[in-house]
Amino acid sequence: MHELGVVFRIIDDLTELGKENELEKIHSVTLELGEVSGVVPSLLTDAWKWAADRTELMKGAELIIETLPAVTFCEDCKSEYETVAYGKICPKCGSNHTYLLKGNEFMIKEIAAT
């Protein structure tokens, strides 16, 4: 499962952060997740619950997910449009010379800890 692999990644990063900042307990973790990051939030939450409970530092920590919209840019008519609604084809001019401007982010934004 993709989400589990991703969760292990987050746990690795936070374990390191916990050492750097001499944290005892992480109470919540806030993520910024792009609309087209390929991660399903509900599966991510499930995987998080399972994996975080197996650590001392993150046991029971809440996972808060903030979704960021996806935007695509068209090289031909220089316009921007919503990726989720139109995909790779520009709705203004029909071109497929387009690329994703944002929406595949996957960031750990902040944590609350003691």
Enumerate binding residues for Zn ion (CB under 5 A): 2, 74, 76-77, 90, 92-93, 95
Neighbours of 96 (CB within 10 A): 11
Q: Is 42 an interacting residue with respect to other proteins (CB under 8 A)?
A: no
* CA 60/CA 88 separation, integer angstroms: 40
In the list 19, 73, 77, 109, the residue contacting other proteins (rule: CB under 8 A) is 109
Q: Is 9 an interacting residue with respect to other proteins (CB under 8 A)?
A: yes
Q: Which is nearer to Zn ion, 44 or 61 (CB)?
A: 44
Q: Which is nearer to other proteins, 61 or 81 (CB)?
A: 61
Contact partners, residue 56, CB within 8 Å, separation at least 6: none
* CA 101/CA 89 separation, integer angstroms: 14
